[in-house]
């Protein structure tokens, strides 16, 4: 015995669910093909460019200072232990 013997509305529900799914898929599709879009062009210059460049320079200087401090710390530790210079 199939489902039709128990529920005469079942075929209509299946049809309605199928139509609903198809209409949702159609409504949600963008209508565009799957062709790749061209790469976006780089942003144009803004009034913040000098600030961003200054921040980057400051980060680079800080990295240099940190590296120098680490070398000095290692040299001091080596001298304390009586090791030869690194």
Asked if the model's pLDDT at residue 31 lies above 70, the reply is: no
How many domains would you assign to the chain? 1
**Residues whose CB is less than 8 angstroms from the CB of residue 3 and which lie 6 or more positions away in sequence, other chains included:** 10
Evaluate whether residue 4 is within a structural domain: no
Evaluate whether residue 73 is within a structural domain: yes
Evaluate whether residue 80 is within a structural domain: yes
Evaluate whether residue 63 is within a structural domain: yes
Asked if the model's pLDDT at residue 16 lies above 60, the reply is: yes
Evaluate whether residue 76 is within a structural domain: yes
Look up the domain containing 75 and give its range. 46-86
**Residues whose CB is less than 8 angstroms from the CB of residue 79 and which lie 6 or more positions away in sequence, other chains included:** 85
Evaluate whether residue 14 is within a structural domain: no
* Structure confidence by residue, pLDDT tens digits, 42-85: 778 889 999 999 999 999 999 999 999 999 999 999 999 987 65
């Amino acid at each position: 015995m199939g489902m039709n013997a128990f529920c005469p509305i079942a075929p209509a529900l299946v049809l309605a669910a199928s139509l609903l799914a198809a209409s949702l898929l159609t409504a949600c599709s963008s209508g565009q093909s799957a062709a790749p879009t061209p790469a976006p062009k780089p942003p144009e210059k803004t009034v913040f460019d000098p600030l961003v460049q200054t921040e980057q320079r400051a980060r680079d200087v800080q990295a240099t200072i940190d590296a120098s401090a680490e070398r000095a710390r290692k040299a001091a530790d080596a001298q304390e232990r009586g090791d030869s210079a690194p």
